[in-house]
C-alpha cells in the first residue's frame, strides 16, 4: 500500500480487517513480522519506520489519534496540547526545571504554536478545562488537536468519528478536510462511517482480513464487487444456497 504525499487516504474494511494494526505498525506501536514501512520525510530522505521506536517515528512527523481516546484526562486542554510538542523540546533537565534563558524562550514559542492549534480547532472556550470533564465529542477534538500540535508530516486518524452523533460527525469531517486542505498535511483516516469517508477521501483502500482487495476513488471502491462481498458476504451466501462448503 502506498500513501501519496499530500493526499487524504481512507482505509476501510470490515471488523478485524487489520486497519488499526496498519496504523499501529506505521506509528511504531507494533513491529511487523515481515515487510517494510518507509517514509519519505520533509528532508526528502527515506526512513525505515519498521525499525524505529514510537518516539523516533513521532520525531519524524508522524502523529496519530486512537480508536479509544488516549488523553491525559486529569490535565487541561492546553496541557494536553503542550505534551504534543514534546518531541520538539530538546532542553535538559536542569534548564527545564529552572525555566530560564533559552529554555524559557523555547517554551514561549511552543506555547504560541499550541495557541494557534487551539484557535484552528475552535477550542478557545475549553483551553483551561480539565479534559476528563469534557463531553465525548470535545475530547475527540482535543485528541486531534494534540496530534496537530506535533506539526505532523503524516497524520493518522483511527476512528475519529466513533461514538459521535450525526452533527458531531459532520463537524469532525469538516476539521479533517480543513487540516488536509489548509495545512497541506497528508492524512490517513480509518473510520466505519462510510458516508463520511466517501465524502472526504481522495482515495480509498479496502482491507479484508489483512489483504488489500480494492484501491481507487470513492466511486470506484463503492461499486467494486469484492468490496460489496467483503461487507455483505454475498458470495458466502450464494455458496450456502448451493450447498457448497463456505
Q: What is the DSSP string of the chain?
A: ----TT-EEEEE-STTSSHHHHHHHHHTSS--SSS--EEE-TTS-EEEGGGS-HHHHHHTTEEE--SS----TTSBHHHHHHHTTGGG----HHHHHHT-HHHHHHHHHHHHHHHHHHHHTT-GGGTTSBGGGS-HHHHHHHHHHHHHHT--SEEEEESTTTT--HHHHHHHHHHHHHHHHHH--EEEEE-S-HHHHHHH-SEEEEEETTEEEEEE-HHHHHT-HHHHHHHH-HHHHHHHHTT---
d(CA 145, CA 155): 11
pLDDT beyond 70 at 92 = no
The confidence score (pLDDT) of residue 105 equals 80
Question: What is the rounded average pLDDT of the residues 94-106?
Answer: 63
Quickly state the pLDDT bin for 241 (edges 50, 70, 90): very low
Residues 6+ apart with CB under 8 A from 56: 28
The confidence score (pLDDT) of residue 94 equals 53
pTM of the model: 0.88
The confidence score (pLDDT) of residue 236 equals 43
pLDDT digits (tens, 9 = 90+) for 61-74: 999 999 999 999 99
pLDDT above 90 covers a percentage of the chain that reads: 71
Quickly state the pLDDT bin for 238 (edges 50, 70, 90): very low
pLDDT beyond 90 at 45 = yes
pLDDT beyond 70 at 246 = no
The confidence score (pLDDT) of residue 43 equals 86
Question: What is the rounded average pLDDT of the residues 114-140?
Answer: 95
Question: What is the rounded average pLDDT of the residues 97-103?
Answer: 61
The confidence score (pLDDT) of residue 57 equals 95
Q: Which domains does the chain have, with CATH numbers?
A: 8-241 (3.40.50.300)
pLDDT digits (tens, 9 = 90+) for 131-172: 999 999 999 999 999 999 999 999 999 999 998 998 999 999
Amino acid at each position: 500500500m502506498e500513501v501519496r504525499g499530500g493526499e487524504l487516504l481512507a482505509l476501510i474494511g470490515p471488523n478485524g480487517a487489520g486497519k488499526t494494526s496498519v496504523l499501529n505498525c506505521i506509528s511504531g506501536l507494533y513491529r511487523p513480522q515481515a515487510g517494510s514501512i518507509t517514509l519519505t520525510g520533509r528532508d526528502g530522505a527515506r526512513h525505515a519506520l519498521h525499525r524505529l521506536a514510537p518516539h523516533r517515528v513521532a520525531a519524524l512527523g508522524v502523529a496519530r489519534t486512537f480508536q479509544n481516546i488516549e488523553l491525559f484526562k486529569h490535565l487541561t486542554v492546553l496541557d494536553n496540547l503542550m505534551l504534543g510538542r514534546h518531541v520538539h523540546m530538546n532542553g535538559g533537565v536542569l534548564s527545564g526545571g529552572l525555566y530560564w534563558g533559552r529554555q524559557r524562550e523555547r517554551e514561549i514559542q511552543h506555547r504560541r504554536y499550541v495557541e494557534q492549534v487551539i484557535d484552528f480547532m475552535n477550542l478557545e472556550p475549553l483551553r483551561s478545562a480539565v479534559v476528563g470533564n469534557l463531553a465525548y465529542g470535545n475530547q475527540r477534538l482535543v485528541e486531534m488537536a494534540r496530534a496537530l500540535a506535533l506539526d505532523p508530516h503524516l497524520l493518522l486518524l483511527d476512528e475519529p468519528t466513533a461514538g459521535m452523533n450525526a452533527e458531531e460527525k459532520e463537524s469532525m469531517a469538516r476539521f479533517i478536510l480543513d487540516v488536509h486542505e489548509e495545512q497541506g498535511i497528508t492524512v490517513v483516516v480509518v473510520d466505519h462511517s462510510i458516508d463520511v469517508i466517501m465524502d472526504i477521501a481522495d482515495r480509498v483502500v479496502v482491507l479484508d482480513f489483512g489483504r488489500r482487495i480494492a484501491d481507487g476513488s470513492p466511486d470506484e471502491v463503492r461499486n467494486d464487487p469484492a468490496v460489496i462481498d467483503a461487507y455483505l458476504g454475498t458470495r458466502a451466501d450464494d455458496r450456502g444456497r448451493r450447498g457448497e462448503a463456505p
